[in-house]
Chain A
Amino acid sequence: GQNIDQPTEMTATEGAIVQINCTYQTSGFNGLFWYQQHAGEAPTFLSYNVLDGLEEKGRFSSFLSRSKGYSYLLLKELQMKDSASYLCAVRDEQGGKLIFGQGTELSVKP
């Protein structure tokens, strides 16, 4: 079966660092995506990993270990505007379909 797990909620402090974990078990794998979604809005693309290792993009980094079925999104220097839901999604090998986790609701406190 297809299964993607993320924590439901996380809280962090402005200026701090937070790591959001994602574990997956899927029948195929053709890349892992992280999206950010503010309440009532569309998901927006943050990062993409298809090979093992760390991808850095400004304050955001994403890590992938394919052998462990594990990824994390690291957010540095947290800002209030980072309060949002973060979605982990695995793309399957056929058709490019995305399988989403349920999302992690991040609250950034002053």
Chain B
Amino acid sequence: DADVTQTPRNRITKTGKRIMLECSQTKGHDRMYWYRQDPGLGLRLIYYSFDVKDINKGEISDGYSVSRQAQAKFSLSLESAIPNQTALYFCATPDRGSNQPQHFGDGTRLSIL
């Protein structure tokens, strides 16, 4: 299994603040994904990356940016946070192989006041 670590686990901040969520994985996998989860809406893809410096938009990328400067790390930024970005955020990475599932970090609960 990929060992995926997210920091922080919880964050409360104010509207307009810049926030960075960190994700790191220890298995050297190429692909990494950021999702957000809202009640009743399931998980929605924000951004994904296939390798260092490779960035691809997902379903709901507006208001977010990402950075992949190293294979093990994939950071998600909210440049100017707004209350409707309050959600549970998950990072994920799949094992190598065509049928391998994505493994998720423990999540970051973000509240924007």
Contact = CB atoms under 8 A, between A and B. Distances in A.
Interface in A91-110: 95-103
B39 to A, nearest CB: 9
Interface in A26-55: 31, 33, 35, 40-45, 48, 50
Contacts of A64: none
Contacts of A50: 99
B43 A43 contact: yes
Query: Which secondary structure characterizes the binding site on chain B?
Result: strand
Contacts of B45: 97-99
Contacts of A40: 107, 109
Nearest to A45: B101
B102 interface: yes
Contact of B99 (A35, A41, A42, A48): A48
A42 B90 contact: yes
B22 interface: no
B50 A43 contact: no
Size band of the interface chain B makes with A: 20 to 34
B56 interface: yes
Nearest to A33: B101
Interface of A: 8, 31, 33, 35, 40-45, 48, 50, 87, 89, 95-103
17 contacts: A35-B101, A40-B107, A40-B109, A41-B106, A41-B107, A42-B104, A42-B106, A48-B99, A48-B101, A87-B42, A95-B56, A97-B45, A97-B58, A98-B45, A98-B102, A101-B42, A102-B41
Given A41-B107, A43-B104, 9 more contacts: A42-B107, A43-B90, A45-B102, A45-B103, A50-B99, A95-B56, A97-B45, A98-B45, A103-B42
Interface of B: 31, 33, 35, 40-45, 48, 50, 56, 58, 90, 94, 99, 101-107, 109
